[in-house]
Amino acid sequence: MIQAGTVVKVCDKTGVVLGICINVLGHARKRVAGLGDIVVIAVRRINPRKFQKVKLFRRKKFLKGTLHRALIVRTKVNYRRAVGLFIRFNENSVVIVNKKAVPISNRVYGPVIRELCMRLPSLGCVTRIMI
């Protein structure tokens, strides 16, 4: 579960490494987000090597301190499948998306659960490992 103030890892090709959750989008009283929810993050750290490969017009968007929408793809809390199987990851990870929940970058690093890829086909297109 991710709430305001949680440090998350960004696992896409934008060059952003770490972000901090600012707000959970959804209902007004919703304070905790799980897998598949959208949050607002602020960029904390960027990777200079990856950042040089990003196109110039996108490079200005991902500077330190900028705010972006992000989709949660991995959490440390157990996720229960319909069969009764529990899945847990080692880190809290997000992918930066636009307002229509389409990933901005064209690559997602690391595994993504199959249910999330079925719900958002645009995410399933850019991921390589589905669990």
Per-residue pLDDT of the chain (131 residues; tens, 9 = 90+): 999 999 999 999 889 999 999 999 998 888 999 999 999 999 999 998 887 777 777 778 889 999 999 999 999 999 999 999 999 999 999 999 999 999 999 999 999 999 999 999 999 999 999 99
Domain residue ranges of the chain, discontinuous segments joined by + = 7-101
- pTM (2 d.p.): 0.94
pLDDT at 41: 98
Task: In whole angstroms, give the CA distance from residue 114 to residue 131.
Answer: 6
Fold classification of 7-101 (topology level): Ribosomal Protein L14 (2.40.150)
CB 112, CB 103: distance < 8 Å: no
pLDDT at 34: 94
pLDDT at 2: 95
CB 22, CB 43: distance < 8 Å: no
Give Cβ neighbours of residue 119 (< 8 Å, ≥ 6 apart): 36
CB 87, CB 81: distance < 8 Å: yes
pLDDT at 55: 74
CB atoms within 10 A of CB 33: 25
Task: In whole angstroms, give the CA distance from residue 30 to residue 32.
Answer: 6
pLDDT at 76: 97
**Whose CA is closest to 9, among 90, 84, 79?**
90
Look-up of token digits 């709430």:
3
